[in-house]
Amino acid sequence: MKKTLQILTKITFAVFAFIGLSNSVKAQCLPGEVAVSFDVITDQWGYEAYWELAPTGAGCGAASVIFAGGNTNVGCLGGGAQAAAGTDPGAYPNSMTTTEGPFCLTIGNQYDIIMVDDWGDGSTQITSVAQNVNVTAAGANDVFTFTAIAPVAEDLAVLNSTGVEYTFTPQSQIPTGGYPLSAAVRNNGTGVVADAVLNVNVYLAPSTTPLQSFSSLPQAINAGATSTISAGSFTPTATGTYTFEYYPSSVTITDGNSSNDTIQLPVAVTDSVYARDNSNVTGTLGLGDGQGGELGQNYMVVNQDTLTAVDVFIGNQSDGMNNHPLSVAIYSTTAGTPNVIIATTDTITVDTTSNFMWRLPINGGNLILNSGEYAFVIFETDTNITVGTATDIFTTGKVWVRSTAITGGNWTNVETFGSAFARSLVIRPIFGSDMSTSIGELTTNNFKVYPNPTSSLLFIDELTIGSSISIVNTLGQVVYSLNSSNNNRLSINVANFERGAYIINITNNGLNNSSTFIKE
């Protein structure tokens, strides 16, 4: 039996603006026709897919169908039947790319890609960069229409930016060396481009004048080939919304198709919010098997910082989360895979509110995170949790699910279940600014901590007599405790503490107060 996650909101991809025809296909087409090939990209259940290429409106199984591919046992009528097997005739291999074609299509005519999925959850992807086609089946039966276009002799296209993982980044977490300014550039023309250059303009809103501009060294790209080109890096110096504008150029060709020349990537530099989503929630995701589990995604903490809360978007469109708990666990990772829980947020009870961003404070107070990669994971109980999803920016190997029923208790990346699941989750760490490596003397409502940072003695002044003191490291381990202070001044030898950040917790008469210090 196939095991799947539950996408509450199905997502149908539109045709993307990736224009041009690869000259690598050779078909004896008539004048007015164009040779077109398609890449069929399957998930781990490739045998569930069946598709046809037909003149628009012809319908599945029509006599005018140009091509039929995939599992013939599924055929036109097998959508959602859940009867397919890997040994069926014509079945595509799992998690593979199969090229079909070339087919001679009349330039200017419209054609349908008709897709049928045995299980009814889609995920098979069909692409033709040359024909603006990049579509993914979303359900049992889908139809996508495109218009055949003529090849262009000289055409450089920028496909997508690479290297930027986050849509919102706290200023304290800007990548070391800045944002990489790189993108995939494709030569859709019929000959070699000897001097392809990637250019990047950086804008800071609201200005429409570039803040800085960058260009790569020229490099050769063969006809039909794609190359990832770097134009350097950019380091923001202030919070705000930056837009990276990428476009290719060449002095030896005249680009015949300007519609695929430019892409823009907005990136927000914030004082606290970290996110992989672009605030455009396009669907929700949950386990939905009634047995519970975990879903989450990784964030890289570049510089030591204070985690104050985690924001989570919950759809709850059908009120299924009413009166159910919601919390987030923060995991350390090993080679990027969630490993050990080091902290959790407070647990709240969701009400009837739908499509809402919930803020969950860190349980027990702010958490100091050292440099490293952490996973922020929500718990699902017996109800589909419907965490929000977004298409940008998705990075493979960073979004996780774990469930006994679905993944056998193992951490598994969501893209394993197919391209329809390749989404970032709307789970956002919130960082504070109450910590510094040059704090000097830190004063709270009730006590002072100094010197900060320190390498040996730490002093706590203006304590209330009878206060209990504990010091906790970033793993949540208590490294020092005193049940009751009999003095309003305390000195603690921290010389043997590991270097890093620590939390001081002071309790008196049921009231809690905390502070941080740095051990050098």
Can you tell me the distance from the alpha carbon of 434 to that of 291, in angstroms, rounded to the nearest whole number?
Answer: 40
Q: Following CA atoms 156, 162, 166, 167 in sequence, which dihedral angle do they give, to the nearest 10 degrees? A: 0
Strand 448-452 and strand 478-482: the pairing is unpaired
Quick one: pLDDT at residue 214? 98
Taking CB atoms within 8 Å and a gap of at least 24, the contacts of 104-107 are 104/27, 104/28, 104/29, 104/30, 104/33, 104/34, 104/35, 104/36, 105/33, 105/34, 105/36, 105/66, 105/148, 106/32, 106/33, 106/148, 107/32, 107/33, 107/34, 107/148, 107/149, 107/150
Can you tell me the distance from the alpha carbon of 449 to that of 447, in angstroms, rounded to the nearest whole number?
Answer: 7
Residues of the chain with pLDDT below 50 are: 1-4, 8-26, 434-445
pLDDT digits (tens, 9 = 90+) for 218-264: 999 998 899 999 999 999 998 888 999 999 999 999 998 888 899 99
Can you tell me the distance from the alpha carbon of 261 to that of 242, in angstroms, rounded to the nearest whole number?
Answer: 20
What Cα–Cα distance (Å) separates residue 280 from each residue in 8, 276, 395, 410, 421? Answer: 16, 11, 17, 30, 16
Quick one: pLDDT at residue 66? 98
Strand 33-41 and strand 97-106: the pairing is antiparallel
What is the residue-wise DSSP string for 407-418?
HTTS-EEGGGG-
Token pair recorded at residue 421: 């699941």
Question: Is residue 381 within 8 Å of residue 292, measured between CB atoms?
Answer: yes
Quick one: pLDDT at residue 500? 67
Question: Is residue 466 within 8 Å of residue 360, measured between CB atoms?
Answer: no
Nearest to 5, CA basis, from 377, 397, 376, 407: 407
Token pair recorded at residue 135: 């579509």
Task: Give me the residue label for tokens 């510094």.
Answer: 436
pLDDT digits (tens, 9 = 90+) for 160-205: 898 889 999 999 999 889 999 999 999 988 899 999 999 999 998 8
Can you tell me the distance from the alpha carbon of 299 to that of 369, in angstroms, rounded to the nearest whole number?
Answer: 11
